[in-house]
Amino acid sequence: MSDAEQDDAQVVIVGGGPVGMGLAVELGQRSIRCVVVERYTSPQPIPKGQNLTQRTMEHFHFWGAEQALRAARTIPREYGIGGLTAYGTLLGDYTYDWLQRELVRPFYFTDNERLPQYATEAVLRQRAAEIPYVSTFYGWSAEAINQDDDRAHVVIAKHKQMSAGSCGPGTS
């Protein structure tokens, strides 16, 4: 990062997960200069964070990313995105319909959604790239944060990505 960029950043966000990227978009839209440091060059394909509530989707709407997010949905439109717990067998008599988000739909501005978190993160990265107030350092890791009376300094270093089959420290 050049000195000029360092001086410019009002906020440094360490971690470009949904929270970090959402914050960057929110700040960037308010003309607040921020830098995101995220150790992975691309979102990690881990199956998690599928369900996005109506409240979350309201944020995406105001972040200018609702349409892109809905387009990134992996489940075909004609399939439901609720949840059901079945006991014993999927066809058993004992079931618990726990994800009835449509019941609270009238209280919100927009619909809920379902897609893998890595797809959500990709949409957030795309949106952040459109905002001139947001700079991103993907593939960099924050190693230390030092603070004095005037400012905080975040020390970053290239992240060493582990390839499939390699071991981390302490593993055998």
Ligand X SMILES: Cc1cc2nc3c(=O)[nH]c(=O)nc-3n(C[C@H](O)[C@H](O)[C@H](O)COP(=O)(O)OP(=O)(O)OC[C@H]3O[C@@H](n4cnc5c(N)ncnc54)[C@H](O)[C@@H]3O)c2cc1C
Tell whether residue 28 is a contact of ligand X (CB under 6 A): no
Nearest to 151 by CA among 2, 4, 11, 3: 11
Q: Candidates 32-40, 76-84, 87-95, 105-113: pick the segment binding ligand X (CB under 6 A).
A: 32-40
Q: What string marks each residue from 128 to 167 as x (binds ligand X by CB under 6 A) or -?
A: -------------xx-------------------------
Tell whether residue 50 is a contact of ligand X (CB under 6 A): yes
Beta-bridge mates of residue 40: none
Nearest to 36 by CA among 156, 159, 160: 156
Q: Is 44 exposed, middle or buried (0-12, 13-18, 19+ CB in 10 A)?
A: exposed
Q: Which is nearer to ligand X, 98 or 107 (CB)?
A: 98
Considering CB under 6 A, how many residues would be counted as binding ligand X? 18
| CA distances in angstroms from 98 to 62, 81, 102, 106, 166, listed in the order given | 28, 12, 11, 18, 40
CB-CB contact of 48 with 25 (8 Å): no
The CB-of-171 to ligand X minimum distance in angstroms stands at: 19
Q: Candidates 15-23, 73-81, 96-104, 105-113: pick the segment binding ligand X (CB under 6 A).
A: 15-23
Tell whether residue 40 is a contact of ligand X (CB under 6 A): yes
List interacting residues with ligand X (CB under 6 A): 14-20, 37-40, 48-51, 117, 141-142
